[in-house]
Structure 1
Amino acid sequence: MKTAAGEITPLWRNRDYNVLWVSQVVSELGAAMSQLAFPLLVIFGSGSVVEIGVVVSARAAARFVAGLPAGALADRYSRKKIMLCCRGTLVVGYTSLVVALLFGAATFPHILATTILAGAASALFGPAEEAALPSIVPRSQLSTTVARNTARTYLAGLIGPAVGGALFGIHRVLPFLVDAVTSALSFVGLLFVRLPHRRVERDTNLGQEMWAGLVWVARQRAIAATLVWVVLSNTVFSAMLVPILAMSGEKDTPPGELGLMMTTLSVGGLIGAAIAPRLHAALPAPVIVIGVSWIAALLTPLLAFCSTALQFGLVLAMVMVFAPTANTTIITYQMMTAPDEFRGRTRGAVRLGTGMAGALGPMLGGVLTAVTGGRNVVLVCVAALLVVAVATTASPTIRGLAGKDR
């Protein structure tokens, strides 16, 4: 991390981080391709609506269930070995599905098991990677690495589904074959990432360590406050997408325009990830968190005047431009505040919270849309974001956030 003269090595010359980042870009692109292909496989197979719902929900459920032990495992065992096991397991799982599809032997339980495996592997990988970052990059570069990791997720979301759908149209096995190959490439890349050896000796079992991690997070007022902010913001934002999609569908919006709306969100996120390091360095942490809260609260009322999917997408994209800066600030703060022995569990708790938000938000949005109508739900979500902004501004804990990496 430092040159012979004692200078900090530029991030672009940090071999271990760049190998890790490239290997994960490749893997996340493959995952984004196959994630769309799983429901398509059922649609063009049995066509069962129930099976489609089960396949879509199973991946999210697996991520949620594996989210809590993931952090404890990352604090207990070798983080590099955890990452390698996750990628290696995916190679085996996707290869088995590819072979079954080629020989016409793929069954619904096999498809379901593979998507569950993918969700669990993703949940286990995340805290291990994030907890290892401070061992790879110096404190002064951590916020930039967090922003770059955020960018790769938006990049995968921008490119992956479109390419995955096109590959499925050529042959249904191709998205899964690509994911198997990208997982293998990621596995090979991880072999060359150097992490310091961690010797962890514990007298407690995994369940006790999971509980200890939750207690520790709850006692850290600043970490707990930022976790609540993330969960509330993500819940409201994900709930808002459902009525927007429903209103667009009522107007017989072409699928291509709906896809363009989601693409616009990813573009906004990519732009935001590009500017996040500069904004993070220029502004205090409280200003960022409170400011992003108010930006969301003041921009989303424009949704009431939107009539097309593209207009909805542009408004939401403006909000997404600033979201990565808040995420970068919060994640960096949490990672630098948490000691190494609790870092995995801290990130595991956050991922568990965002998983809950991702599952609960669309469910609430769907139920409320069915009962009251899409436009009313959008207004409720706008009001909820206003409440979050007011509460965030009034919180002495948020206002007292210190930049641990500065």
Structure 2
Amino acid sequence: MTVLDTTPAPEPAPLRRNRDFRLLWTGAAVSFLSSRVTAVAYPLLVLWHTDSPLAASVVSFAALLPLLLVQLPAGALVDRWDRRRLMICCEAGRFLALATVAAALVAGTVSVPHLAAVAFTEATLTVFYRLAERGAVRNVVEPGHLPAALAANEARSRAAGLVGQPGGTLLHSLTRSAPFLFAAAGSLVSLGTLLLIRRPFQSERSTAPGRLGADVADGIRWLWRQRFLRAALGIVAGSNVLFQVIGLALILMFKEEGRSPATLSVVFALGGVGGLCGSLWGGRLSRRLRQRTVLVAGTTAWAALMAGMALVRDPFALGALFAGTGFVGAAFNVTAGVYQVRTTPDEMQGRVGSTANLIGSGTNALGALGGGLLLTVWGTTRSVLLAAGLMAVLAALAAVSPALRTEERLIAARAPAGPDSTPEETRCPDP
């Protein structure tokens, strides 16, 4: 006679006791903070060294160019290479590149071409690192912990943005090489945490990689076939354009009224705090609400908050409204990240993520260009009201879109035991 073992499976340890996730999170936090510090340090160093805004713009452009040129091939390469080894190589490469800037400053041989090359290299390695780290998360945490893990990651990114800009400025004021020494040390810390992680960063690959171009095309086709993800990405792309208009409008508002840049920094700081709070709530929302509900409610809230920005001029009121937009944006990033990571096959995480990132980067650039033209012709108040109206249109489209009704409810507690499976209740149905 066979006796069946009815002992329930042990509950997984809380996320805070997951050693490998803590190491991955800490190393990435230091790496992202370092990137934020150098992002502000590059133009400051060039202006100090050359007194040329044009030279500063060249270096800044070099730092942004990989977001457009490298995303798609990076996604395909991340999917075919070992994620852990790739991340180790990225941090080692960042350390060497940043160390050359510190050495050049000590030797007094800084040049704009050198800084542009380092900025491009660092940004390229950061693209690879972030795509690999995003795909690794679901392999180092239990399936039910994925919403909390991605919420912690979003909070980490928001905190790095909040601290990195003033931190980079402060370090630059101490000594010109300080931001780059800090970032190089951060790369070593991140490298050390990667070497200590025990769990694999990916599942076994069942198929051999094909040609790079074919792999990139496979990722784009897979994303295009997912009706919900395709429609949601369109809504997000449109909102990115409108937020570029809002960011430029806030700067122009304060300039027209003769307010100091320090006052504007308070508004942006409040927005960062709002984003940090939103990231902490995102994990809860992903467990309780449909992604479609979050998208419709979020775009509606954005429309109302933008309209309020057109009607007030008090810095603290604007800061509160900007904090609201940051809260909604961070919460949506978490819920969208949970949906995308859980529904995308592990072997395609890099390609799908890079395609989504490229669309976001492209619409940001489009929004920056269109926002400048719109503000020149219409002024701040009417431009912000127009942005609010267009955001309301996006909210209405999200509410009535048939594609967004194809989503199934995501419930982390009902996810299957393995990190490599795609649960039936969370799978995006084919069109």
TM-score over 0.5 (shorter chain): yes
Using the alignment, how far apart are the partners of 1:355 and 1:342 within structure 2? 20
**How big is the shift at 1:57?**
2.1
Please tell me whether residue 370 in structure 1 is matched to residue 376 in structure 2. Answer: yes
Q: Percent identity?
A: 30
Using the alignment, how far apart are the partners of 2:223 and 2:186 within structure 1? 35
Using the alignment, how far apart are the partners of 1:200 and 1:104 within structure 2? 52
State the partner residue of 1:119.
123
Q: Flag structure 1 segments of 5+ consecutive residues without an equivalent.
A: none
Give aligned pairs, total: 403
CA contact (8 A) 2:288 2:411 kept: no
Helix, strand or coil: the match of 1:35? helix
1:213 aligns with one of 210, 219, 227: 219
2:151 aligns with one of 140, 147, 154: 147
State the partner residue of 2:427.
none
Using the alignment, how far apart are the partners of 1:291 and 1:140 within structure 2? 25
State the partner residue of 1:397.
403
Q: Flag structure 2 segments of 5+ consecutive residues without an equivalent.
A: 1-7, 413-431
Using the alignment, how far apart are the partners of 1:118 and 1:366 within structure 2? 29
Using the alignment, how far apart are the partners of 2:209 and 2:79 within structure 1? 14
Helix, strand or coil: the match of 1:64? helix
Please tell me whether residue 354 in structure 1 is matched to residue 360 in structure 2. Answer: yes
**How big is the shift at 1:176?**
0.7
State the partner residue of 1:287.
293
The amino acid across from 1:45 in the alignment is: H
1:255 aligns with one of 261, 274, 294: 261
Helix, strand or coil: the match of 2:167? helix
CA contact (8 A) 2:31 2:186 kept: yes
Where in structure 2 are the equivalents of 1:15-30 lying within 5 Å? 15-30=19-34
Using the alignment, how far apart are the partners of 2:80 and 2:221 within structure 1? 17
**How big is the shift at 1:168?**
0.6
Where in structure 2 are the equivalents of 1:270-281 lying within 5 Å? 270-281=276-287
Using the alignment, how far apart are the partners of 1:180 and 1:405 within structure 2? 40
1:296 aligns with one of 291, 294, 302: 302
The amino acid across from 2:61 in the alignment is: S
Where in structure 2 are the equivalents of 1:289-368 lying within 5 Å? 289-368=295-374
With 130-139 and 172-181 compared, the bigger mean Cα shift is at 130-139
Using the alignment, how far apart are the partners of 1:66 and 1:99 within structure 2? 27
2:101 aligns with one of 84, 97, 100: 97
2:38 aligns with one of 34, 41, 54: 34
Using the alignment, how far apart are the partners of 1:188 and 1:58 within structure 2? 28
State the partner residue of 1:72.
76
Distance 1:203 1:81, change over 3 A: closer
Q: What TM-score, normalized to structure 2?
A: 0.90
**How big is the shift at 1:241?**
0.6
Q: What TM-score, normalized to structure 1?
A: 0.95
Helix, strand or coil: the match of 1:172? coil
Question: Looking at CA atoms only, which structure, 1 or 2, has the larger radius of gyration?
Answer: 2
Q: Deviations over 1:91-131 (max 9, x none)?
A: 00000110001110111001111111121112111221111
**How big is the shift at 1:402?**
1.6
Q: Deviations over 1:25-55 (max 9, x none)?
A: 1111222112111110111111112112222
Helix, strand or coil: the match of 1:204? coil
**How big is the shift at 1:259?**
1.2
What is the RMSD computed on CA atoms of the aligned residues?
A: 1.7
Using the alignment, how far apart are the partners of 1:347 and 1:9 within structure 2? 29
Using the alignment, how far apart are the partners of 2:372 and 2:94 within structure 1? 32
Please tell me whether residue 223 in structure 1 is matched to residue 226 in structure 2. Answer: no
Please tell me whether residue 264 in structure 1 is matched to residue 270 in structure 2. Answer: yes
Helix, strand or coil: the match of 2:70? helix
Using the alignment, how far apart are the partners of 1:182 and 1:324 within structure 2? 25
**How big is the shift at 1:172?**
0.9
State the partner residue of 2:89.
85
Using the alignment, how far apart are the partners of 1:200 and 1:41 within structure 2? 48
Helix, strand or coil: the match of 1:7? coil
The amino acid across from 2:220 in the alignment is: L
State the partner residue of 1:233.
239
CA contact (8 A) 2:306 2:388 kept: yes
**How big is the shift at 1:394?**
0.8
Q: Deviations over 1:328-381 (max 9, x none)?
A: 121111111111122221111111112112222222212221232222221221
